[in-house]
């Protein structure tokens, strides 16, 4: 991509990268720069940009993070409920429980694509996302009322449909506000919130399940009631806090709005609210891009690896501890993962790279899959469980960063691409749910995840070769070669901006 970018994160760790980017973008003044910014000096724009990013960070990031914590708490509480007798109360077999886990993704995956196409066309994306949060909180709380296995399946399927709004919508929403030097750490913030949700969910579940029998209500029923009700209330509050898109945000002054839009436009030639591309045209542009197909397959393999999160309490329980201690032991791996995610994204943003980081994560995860299959040592197995959350899921942060920066135009294409990658890639969570049986070794699960790791490494290497070939064509200056790149998804305006596929 072009280095012409007015970004700044407001933090000293990005000073060397972001200040150069600001200088480059100031030099673009000309016809692209908004009228309101043309009389400002380079230093004034840099100062305003730093204040703008800090304001965005203070409002958007905490709100999105809190909602994602709720998202994961409500999604993973069924795994915690398993340790408190929901299988026995609803007379479920192990296979039926796996179906109850996977049925959520049957509703969750297909609804992501239309939802993300809708979010590009509505003026209040924050309100749209928060409305979904309130609805899924109510559905989650209603899970406490189920009395049969069939009722549980119905509730979980509906829950998945509503939760489909959040993750791809949040990814797209962040990409509308942050530039390429800023996006990586913000996506990491989202995944850190995911790990906080996993860790906090286990600790909260351990506390709530102590209410078992209070007022004649089972512990797992209390779990759904309390967590679902909290989601409803917090979602309603966040609806009042989340801003609109940069071009129509009421929390920004007119000059700040112009700068917020220009920051994004100067990278790829388009931003939300400034492009009139048809939603369906953008969707079909995404489908016709060969890079997207490779990224979908990469995410499918990566999400297969990340499926351990859906059964993590059961994996920890295979160590032989009681239910309460098993839930408590799920927290440290997720806390560690949160720190590692930030480190990964900090390094990625600072060095403008993702490919070697992905390969390192895959290599570490591959070694960790072998440990549970080869030993029953509690120390060795728990060490593997400490490492697996960050090594298995970490590459997903970098994949979504790639999607939003390599498939930037038109904006509807970026939204469709995020949803398609997460929706189709997420189908791994359906079939992977049936692999977690026969503890303590879980040969089927860890053997399959090991195969996913090898295929993932091979596929991302093919993707790297493809984008490097496209860069060579752009660098050649040959109109015929550049035409081939344009057919592959790069717009003429991006070519004028000296745009390149970076990070690989």
Model confidence at 159, pLDDT cuts 50, 70, 90, reads very high
- Residue 110 is assigned to a structural domain of this protein: yes
Which residues lie below 8 Å from residue 276, measured CB to CB, with a gap of 6+? none
- Residue 72 is assigned to a structural domain of this protein: yes
Alpha carbon distance 289, 281 (integer Å): 12
Q: Is 503 helix (H, G, I), strand (E, B) or coil?
A: strand
Mean pLDDT for the stretch of residues 417-435: 81
pLDDT > 70: what percent of the chain? 89
Residue with tokens 């195969």: 451
Residue 165 token pair: 């709004």
> What is the model's pTM?
0.69
Alpha carbon distance 494, 500 (integer Å): 8
Instruction: Judge whether 218 and 89 are in contact, CB under 8 Å.
Output: yes
Count up the domains in the chain and report the number: 1
Mean pLDDT for the stretch of residues 32-44: 79
Residue 457 is part of a domain; what is its CATH number?
A: 1.20.1250.20
- Asked if the bond preceding 53 is cis, omega within 30° of 0, the reply is no
pLDDT tens-digit map of 128-154: 999 999 999 999 999 999 999 999 999
pLDDT tens-digit map of 460-490: 999 999 999 989 988 898 888 888 888 777 7
- Residue 331 is assigned to a structural domain of this protein: yes
Alpha carbon distance 8, 50 (integer Å): 6
Mean pLDDT for the stretch of residues 44-60: 89
- Greater confidence, 457 or 84? 457
Domain that holds residue 197: 12-496
Residue 167 token pair: 């993750």
- Residue 3 is assigned to a structural domain of this protein: no
Mean pLDDT for the stretch of residues 82-93: 87
pLDDT tens-digit map of 236-269: 999 988 888 888 888 888 888 888 888 877 765 5
Residue 4: per-residue pLDDT: 41
Whether residue 184 is predicted with pLDDT greater than 80 in this model: the reply is no
pLDDT tens-digit map of 193-206: 877 777 777 777 77
- Residue 504 is assigned to a structural domain of this protein: no
**Total residues found in the chain within this entry:** 504
Residue 118 token pair: 């809708």
Segments in 176-244 forming alpha helices (H): 180-208, 219-239
Rounded to a whole number, what is the largest CA-CA distance in the chain? 76
| Closest of 331, 352, 364 to residue 182, by C-alpha | 352
- Residue 501 is assigned to a structural domain of this protein: no
* Chain centroid offset of residue 79 CA: 21
- Residue 54 is assigned to a structural domain of this protein: yes
Instruction: Judge whether 219 and 85 are in contact, CB under 8 Å.
Output: yes
Residue 330 token pair: 């799920």
Alpha carbon distance 383, 275 (integer Å): 50
Residue 149 token pair: 């296995």
Alpha carbon distance 214, 501 (integer Å): 58
| Region of poorest pLDDT, from 29-38, 125-134, 167-176, 302-311 | 29-38
Alpha carbon distance 206, 325 (integer Å): 8
- Residue 1 is assigned to a structural domain of this protein: no
Which 3-state string (H, E, C) describes 131-178? HHHHHHHHHHHHHHHCCCHHHHHHHHHHHHHHHCCHHHHHHHHHHCCC
Instruction: Judge whether 426 and 420 are in contact, CB under 8 Å.
Output: no
Whether residue 54 is predicted with pLDDT greater than 70 in this model: the reply is yes
């Amino acid at each position: 991509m072009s280095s012409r970018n007015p970004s700044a994160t407001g933090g000293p760790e990005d000073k060397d990268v972001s200040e150069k980017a600001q200088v480059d973008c100031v030099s673009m003044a000309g016809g692209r720069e908004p009228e309101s910014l043309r009389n400002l000096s380079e230093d004034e724009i840099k100062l305003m940009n730093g204040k703008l990013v800090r304001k965005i960070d203070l409002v958007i990031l905490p709100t999105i993070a809190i909602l994602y914590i709720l998202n994961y708490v409500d999604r993973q509480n069924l795994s915690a409920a398993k340790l408190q007798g929901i299988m026995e109360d609803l007379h479920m077999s192990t296979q039926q429980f796996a179906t109850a886990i996977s049925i959520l993704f049957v509703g969750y995956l297909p609804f992501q694509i239309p939802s993300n196409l809708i979010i590009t066309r509505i003026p209040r994306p924050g309100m749209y996302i928060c409305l979904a949060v309130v609805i899924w909180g109510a559905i989650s709380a209603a899970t406490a009322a189920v009395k049969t296995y069939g009722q549980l399946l119905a509730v979980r399927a509906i829950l998945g449909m509503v939760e489909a709004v959040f993750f791809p919508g949040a990814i797209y929403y962040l990409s509308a506000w942050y530039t390429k030097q800023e996006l990586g750490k913000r996506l990491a913030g989202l995944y850190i919130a995911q790990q906080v949700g996993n860790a906090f969910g286990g600790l909260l579940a351990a506390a709530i399940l102590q209410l078992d029998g209070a007022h004649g209500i089972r512990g797992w029923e209390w779990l759904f009631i309390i967590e679902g009700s909290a989601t409803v209330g917090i979602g309603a509050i966040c609806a009042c806090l989340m801003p609109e898109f940069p071009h129509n945000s009421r929390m920004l002054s007119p000059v700040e709005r112009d700068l917020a839009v220009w920051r994004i436009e100067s990278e790829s030639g388009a931003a939300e609210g400034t492009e009139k591309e048809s939603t369906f045209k953008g969707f079909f542009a995404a489908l016709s891009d060969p890079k997207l197909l490779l990224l979908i397959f990469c995410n499918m393999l990566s999400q297969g690896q990340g499926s351990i999160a859906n059964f993590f309490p059961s994996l920890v329980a295979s160590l032989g501890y009681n239910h309460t201690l098993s839930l408590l032991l799920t927290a440290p791996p997720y806390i560690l993962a949160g720190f590692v995610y930030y480190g990964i994204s900090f390094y990625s943003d600072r060095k403008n790279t993702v490919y070697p980081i992905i390969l390192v994560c895959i290599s570490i995860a591959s070694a960790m899959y072998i440990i549970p299959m080869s030993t029953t040592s509690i120390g060795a197995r728990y060490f593997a469980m400490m490492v697996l959350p960050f090594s298995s899921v970490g590459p997903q942060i970098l994949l979504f960063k790639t999607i939003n920066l390599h498939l930037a135009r038109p904006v509807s294409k970026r939204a469709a691409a995020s949803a398609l990658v997460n929706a189709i890639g997420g189908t791994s969570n359906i079939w992977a749910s049936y692999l977690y049986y026969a503890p303590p070794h879980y040969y089927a699960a860890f053997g399959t995840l090991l195969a996913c790791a090898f295929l993932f490494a091979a596929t991302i290497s093919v993707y790297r070769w493809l984008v490097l070939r496209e860069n060579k064509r752009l660098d050649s200056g040959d109109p015929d070669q550049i035409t081939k790149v344009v057919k592959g998804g790069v717009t003429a305006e991006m070519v004028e901006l000296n745009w390149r596929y970076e990070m690989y």
